[in-house]
Amino acid sequence: MSLILTGIGVTSGIAIGRVHRLTPGELDLPEYHLEAGAVENEIERLQHAIDRSERFIQRMLERVAEGGETARELLEAHRLILRDPLLVDAAVERIRDSRINAEWALVQQSEALLDEFRRLDDSYIALRREDLEQAVQLILRKMADQPATLVGAQVPHQLADTVIVADSLGPADMAILHQRRVAGLVTEHGGPMSHSAILARSLEIPMVVGIHQAVNRLNEDEAVILDGHYGALMVGFDEGLQRHYEDKREASERHRTELKRFLARPSRTLDGEGFQLYGNAELPAEFERCREARAAGIGLMRTEYLFLGDRLPDEDTQYRAYRAAIEAMEGRPVTIRTLDAGGDKLPPGLAVTQGPNPALGLRGLRLSLAVTELFREQIRAILRASVHGPVQILLPMLTDVEELHQARRIIDDCRRELQRRGESIDPGLPVGGMIETPAAALAVREFAPLLDFMSIGTNDLIQYVLAIDRQDEQVSYLYDPGHPAILSLIEQIVLAGREFDCPVTVCGELAGDEAAVRLLLALGVANFSMPPASIPAVKKSLIDARAARCREILARHRARPASGRQLLGELLRE
């Protein structure tokens, strides 16, 4: 009898294999009070478990294979938590003050921190919560002399025909499973932005998360088909369905291989119009994938991740991050967007600036100009990094020309300050602006003469122009990149760029869509920046397109408007 379990597909791809369930042994967490003379020994027992946990993470870091930078970063985050005074010192205090055993104190303290995290409905905080839970579990397992990971002796060394099913998976588990070439992954918990999902995408392992009770509902060694695209796990299928998915898997692998052949071809449409493809990146693995995809450079390096800790990063910390990114791209330009905090992504260190309506409040460049010392530190860090390779500054969320003047004065001040200090910098470092608000798009002819380049952020532009939130399923059907207002604004930006010799790049989600790039091509866009995984398909789409034909289709659409979906479909068939 066939059964289909559904969850959330976080990585496209198909895995066919047999189930291996990872079931952690239940930890016996004792709770007892201590005699006064036993307190220091209990603290020492906790510290010993932390030391052993740290040594385990160090061993895992040494084992992480090439290309596992994301796993390495997550393991480093766990190592930092092991020494976090908010966890460890506070647990020690509980042992001393309440005279309770180490496990009890550690669980109490972690629960107190988790309660604080739960009050904040934020995707970044959710990841911190996951980090904390996994680091505490590691310490508790060391105190109980239990294996530190789910993956150990109970998992075979060759997993090419195995689909792992678990409650959840940590970075150490993922690193080992990747080394053993696991076919696919299923977890009962986690979302698209959980650590395991991020790692699965980074390592290109087909994965479905959020299949409730999967461990109990599936039998060991049961044959399954995992479809990461549709978030489905099929059980009890017949030979016909298996052959269908085997063919589909082979076709998918052939398609990916074929797409990569386009990477070496000249960036020209069928009728000879040139274009440039850039990558969006912030993690080391993403820079590596941009190089592999032969990206012309980094069109968008977000910097918010540097500001997500409890402490804001200082100038030197930022300088090291920007230098690493520039050196990773080996001479290709890196566009660093200054802090685009606000909206739904305000760092804890700047939470005091949160207003009643974050999407329309102190965010992007407005926030930087409100906390100018923070902005100056970031600008100095970028300028100092500019001696290591080509780099340009991108200012987010422009709405008013005076804001741009103010930002440029600060950049000039920072430049002079560094020169007085004898620091080497690129004196001609380009400064660009994000055109992503209706105000900036309508006033683009005032902005363009003051900028060295412009980037169109289509996600925010469409949201603000159409007054819809795509995450709201009640109105998401109204999201339409072919809406006349959107087409008109993008065209105005492109024309202003040509008039003032100010190059225009699209770095929003449309730039990574193989159909939407043909629409942008028809509007005159020639520079696109996207996640590295989208580069092969987008390049094929543009190489196979005729720019003139795309413009004809767009002109016909404007004369007799149809839905944006129909327009994109026709452009893709061109």
Residue ranges of the domains in the chain? 26-145, 152-256, 264-544
pLDDT tens digit sequence for 311-368 = 788 999 999 999 999 999 999 999 999 998 765 545 555 655 556 666 677 788 998 9
Active-site residue, selected from the candidate residues 20, 78, 178, 195: 195
Q: Which residue has the tokens 């990971």?
A: 149
Q: Is 72 annotated to bind ligand?
A: no
Is 357 labelled a binding residue? no
Query: Which range, 61-65, 105-109, 391-395, 470-474, is most confident?
Result: 391-395
Averaged pLDDT of the chain: 86
Token pair of 555 as six digits: 């002109």
In terms of average pLDDT, the best of 169-178, 185-194, 255-264 is 255-264
| Residue 470 among known ligand-binding residues | yes
- ∠ CA 359-362-366, nearest 5°, is 120
Residue 8 in this model has a pLDDT that exceeds 80: yes
- Flag whether pLDDT at 54 surpasses 70: yes
Return d(Cα 171, Cα 168) in angstroms, integer: 10
User: Around Cβ 369, how many Cβ atoms within 10 Å?
Assistant: 16
pLDDT value of residue 478:
79
The answer to whether 522 and 551 have CB atoms below 8 angstroms apart is yes
Q: Which CATH class is domain 264-544?
A: alpha beta
Q: Is 459 annotated as a binding residue?
A: yes
**Residue 210 pLDDT > 80, yes or no?**
yes
Q: Which of 290, 414, 502, 507 is catalytic?
A: 507
**Selected residue with higher pLDDT from 496 and 558:** 496
* DSSP assignment string, 443-464: THHHHGGG-SEEEE-HHHHHHH
Q: Of 206, 201, 303, 295, nearest to 530 (Cα)?
A: 295
The yes-or-no verdict on residue 203 having pLDDT over 80 is no
The CATH homologous superfamily for domain 26-145 is: PtsI, HPr-binding domain (1.10.274.10)
Taking alpha carbons only, the member of 493, 442, 438, 495 closest to residue 462 is: 438
- Does residue 28 carry a pLDDT above 80? no
Cβ burial, residue 460 (10 Å; 0-12/13-18/19+): buried
Structure tokens at 350: 């700047």
Q: Please, which residues bridge with residue 540 across strands?
A: none
User: Is 366 assigned to a binding site?
Assistant: no
Query: What pLDDT shows up at residue 295?
Result: 96
**What pTM value is reported for the model?**
0.68
Q: Is 256 a known ligand-binding residue?
A: no
Q: Distance between CA atoms of 318 and 322, rounded to whole angstroms?
A: 6
Nearest 5 degrees, angle CA 327-CA 203-CA 305? 50
CATH 3.50.30.10 fits 152-256, yes or no: yes
Residue that has been written with the tokens 């043909």 in this structure = 518
Predicted local distance difference test score (pLDDT) of residue 296? 97
Q: Each residue of 530-548: pLDDT tens digit?
A: 988 789 999 999 999 999 9
Percent of the chain with pLDDT over 70: 87
- Phi/psi at 458 (5° precision): -70, -30
Reported residue count of the chain is 574
Least confident of 86-100, 129-143, 374-388, 514-528: 129-143
Does 507 participate in catalysis according to the annotation? yes
